[in-house]
Chains A and B, each alone.
Chain A
């Protein structure tokens, strides 16, 4: 079957999709968007978390056919999504990465990094905070955690530790012991408040 839906703001089509294929498989193997990870494929670990019409879901549990006509945001589109949200929202469905850009995806060297905590071009606040706080080790859980944490901060810009733990309880991490993930979310929240304060709000 053919499935047509919006990924990171752009309409995309996938052909020859089997009825049993998950959204995760279609994203990773048919659309060249492997950022959403395949760690358990049964909705237990959260590594494949994406936004489906704004709601965080495990894309491994969503049948590809279910997303017909709907909007998906993956980690690849997170920075654009966050930037456009900050600039006034993505309601017209124009946020995100283009199809050609997505298909042309390839691993490339990291941009040179500065040692201070100044935000890098092109990263969302939560992505930058994960790097700065040391919340990335093997990094396999990171995309799912970023999508979940970004959604948390969207609806609660100053979450308590209990709020953060509750929001991220569906995302397993085996490396970090979660402490630095908590630090990262706190950092992103703090920077968000600082920015507002700096604008005189």
Chain B
């Protein structure tokens, strides 16, 4: 770990800050404590990564490929370099070491393209200049001679005989287990005998489903500032989801030891998985080290669509059987995820899609296969829901189809087959904490429905804004039909398959100005989810102090792991709790040493820290913390791990691969203008089990946000890639639509708290589950309204009008 003396770079004019919060009366766990960064964020003072600024900084810009697959014959940078105001132009040849690729699991992603480009928008060259427009104009003068190569864009083209290999000479650890080099990873899950079980089925229902490519579309663009240090190192202020993962990938490319790459999290404007992979981090460092000046890179929205991985688009084939009394007999399914040109998180997404393919249902006999392709499409990786989203879309459509064929109510059919605590997953793993699937469905169904179609009674007085088409005044209710649909989903929490998913927290307790104060230092990326709020709540609860300071996340403290997989409150929250418990014990030891002889309770009673005092479990005050600590400080940095998992067997998929499961159910109410194919989502109700709501206000906010991203993919969100050229057609907020406040309905939330005895405070990761079931619920409601089959996201007007 680097100490302060090695930080010889000059600090930028704007830097992330300590967040101090004291004197809240409702401030422990279980309270809706307000955000410590809230005031900064509403006054415009909070320093996001794109706000970083240094006195003599340059602007970096990335030149990206205009084609999806091509050999690079030559690159001529001379004219760009000669442009006034340009300080550096870098290509692959300027990389300082033999390490020229990076990657989360497989190091297959070039820092800058060498030899060829494999997808539209791949970084090819970098420019640093004194004004962003100078950098852009200089980049436009770089001449690249591309020799176009044929593209592979789907399973058929990728595995056809003689298909071009996206990565020739693969050597990664999956290559021995995949049927074709253009397949990144394959995971079968075989349990029981699906073929034999199918013979018991009275009905068999199959379907083919297509899930479009979704973008995280976080609002804060990829950005940051690299400041070169006098020691040859670099300080990087950046928005990311996992500082130490970035560090591990950045340092080798720069040829620097990790302690010379000092990373500090700057304000993050949302992430949703899109910041798990590197974007501009290495590029900014390379330019800063080359020019000797601070370099800031800020992507515009166009570039952002090329600068991060997307959600895997998927094709899914499902077959379910059921007996006439409504019990599922078997599942056969095959899931093909398109991972695009580079591996990113594809292997883990395959693991999730396959192991969660059955959904939250009891099916003893399954035959599941999931694969991820290499193709020349944009790279895909982590996004909220991570492989479970695509599967949920398909299995929930199947549940409605089976129920319909049996003539059963779709909710009752789901409840009849719902998993519960003790159910064995298709991976053989027992579900050993509450799994209230039937209860969540019951709750979401029991919520009052929104009022009936108002124009049926209000006539000409109806508010046209509430109709599909809204202010466009396209209908006054004629041709508009209402539908209701349900869905439920299961998501794993944390990193699975044997990953060492630990976190680290440093907690310090001392007396400042006569008041006991706790300081919490972790490398957790606060991306908007509210971790900083929760950490302060945990410290207050465990240490009995009011004032807590959260230090900026950086690499001077050990890894916190990623802010993803719904894991951060579980794992880093667990680490903060653990560190606080150890600090508390040391504080009590000091107290025993100083005051133990004065009161027998120091030796015999269960002691707590509450309200700045040491108290017995009976409530007797033994000492003030200020008197116990005086000028002593207790300062501990500790790692914390949840219980271990194990990899899935590569042939059968068996293994205790997951830490914990998270469940949410949705009911969607939609209205559809059947003449124009316009959909208005009227209400999207959610019920979710969160184990323990550490901060109820934040919990509800996360559920509503996740629900809305699922709504987006149901009716509007899709990155459209030309199937012939693999070029992206809509890299802008004009053409890639995310829900506005007019598209988003009211989202009533019913929070259930069934504690998981294995988790800190009994909590259950919450961020992702609501994204799963929201999409299929909306689709089910549209099907219910229109009677159409609808097997693709997003639903577009032409799917509803048959045009």
A174:B705 contact, CB within 8 angstroms: yes
Q: How far is the CA of A32 from the CA of B54 in the complex (A)?
A: 11
Question: How does the 8 Å CB contact mask read for B15-46 relative to A, with 1 for contact and 0 for none?
Answer: 11111111111110001111111111111111
B698:A172 contact, CB within 8 angstroms: no
Most chain B C-beta atoms within 10 Å of own C-beta, residue among A29, A39, A174: A174
- Which residues on B sit within 8 Å (CB–CB) of A171? 740-741
Q: In the complex, how many angstroms separate the beta carbon of B709 from the nearest chain A beta carbon?
A: 8
For residue B744, CB closer than 8 A to chain A, the reply is yes
Q: In the complex, how many angstroms separate the beta carbon of A198 from the nearest chain B beta carbon?
A: 23
Q: How far is the CA of A114 from the CA of B739 in the complex (A)?
A: 34
Q: How far is the CA of A41 from the CA of B731 in the complex (A)?
A: 13
A138:B528 contact, CB within 8 angstroms: yes
For residue B523, CB closer than 8 A to chain A, the reply is no
B741:A175 contact, CB within 8 angstroms: no
Instruction: Given A174-B219, A175-B705, A176-B705, decide whether A39 and B44 contact each other with a Cβ distance below 8 A.
Output: no
For residue B465, CB closer than 8 A to chain A, the reply is yes
For residue A64, CB closer than 8 A to chain B, the reply is no
- Which residues on A sit within 8 Å (CB–CB) of B267? 139
For residue A200, CB closer than 8 A to chain B, the reply is no
Instruction: Given A137-B705, A140-B219, A182-B741, decide whether A45 and B733 contact each other with a Cβ distance below 8 A.
Output: yes
Question: How does the 8 Å CB contact mask read for A98-125 relative to B, with 1 for contact and 0 for none?
Answer: 0000000111111111111000100100
Q: In the complex, how many angstroms separate the beta carbon of A48 from the nearest chain B beta carbon?
A: 11
User: How many residues on chain A are close to B (CB under 8 Å)?
Assistant: 72
Instruction: Given A107-B15, A115-B25, decide whether A169 and B740 contact each other with a Cβ distance below 8 A.
Output: yes
B270:A138 contact, CB within 8 angstroms: yes
Q: In the complex, how many angstroms separate the beta carbon of A172 from the nearest chain B beta carbon?
A: 6
- Which residues on A sit within 8 Å (CB–CB) of B529? 137
Q: In the complex, how many angstroms separate the beta carbon of A19 from the nearest chain B beta carbon?
A: 10
Most chain B C-beta atoms within 10 Å of own C-beta, residue among A36, A41, A116: A41
- Which residues on A sit within 8 Å (CB–CB) of B270? 137-138, 140, 174-175
- Which residues on A sit within 8 Å (CB–CB) of B272? 174
B43:A35 contact, CB within 8 angstroms: yes
B20:A110 contact, CB within 8 angstroms: yes
- Which residues on B sit within 8 Å (CB–CB) of A18? 131, 133
- Which residues on B sit within 8 Å (CB–CB) of A175? 270, 528, 701, 705
Q: Which of A35, A44, A108 contacts B734 (CB 8 A)?
A: A44
B733:A179 contact, CB within 8 angstroms: no
Main secondary structure of the interface of A (DSSP, over half): loop
For residue B218, CB closer than 8 A to chain A, the reply is yes
Q: How far is the CA of A45 from the CA of B530 in the complex (A)?
A: 23
Within 8 A of A (CB), among B731-767: 732-734, 738-742, 744, 746-747
Instruction: Given A114-B25, A180-B701, decide whether A131 and B34 contact each other with a Cβ distance below 8 A.
Output: yes
For residue B65, CB closer than 8 A to chain A, the reply is no
Question: How does the 8 Å CB contact mask read for B217-235 relative to A, with 1 for contact and 0 for none?
Answer: 1111100000000000000
A112:B20 contact, CB within 8 angstroms: yes
A116:B17 contact, CB within 8 angstroms: no
Q: How far is the CA of A136 from the CA of B528 in the complex (A)?
A: 8
A75:B44 contact, CB within 8 angstroms: yes
For residue A69, CB closer than 8 A to chain B, the reply is no
A115:B528 contact, CB within 8 angstroms: no
Instruction: Given A112-B23, A138-B220, A177-B705, decide whether A123 and B39 contact each other with a Cβ distance below 8 A.
Output: yes
For residue B630, CB closer than 8 A to chain A, the reply is no
For residue A132, CB closer than 8 A to chain B, the reply is yes
- Which residues on A sit within 8 Å (CB–CB) of B17? 107-109
For residue A146, CB closer than 8 A to chain B, the reply is yes
B528:A137 contact, CB within 8 angstroms: yes
A110:B40 contact, CB within 8 angstroms: yes
For residue B51, CB closer than 8 A to chain A, the reply is yes
A172:B219 contact, CB within 8 angstroms: yes
Contacts A76-B45, A110-B39 known; list 6 others, CB within 8 Å.
A20-B133, A33-B44, A37-B219, A113-B36, A115-B24, A175-B705
3 tightest Cβ-Cβ pairs between the two chains A and B: A35-B44, A138-B528, A177-B704
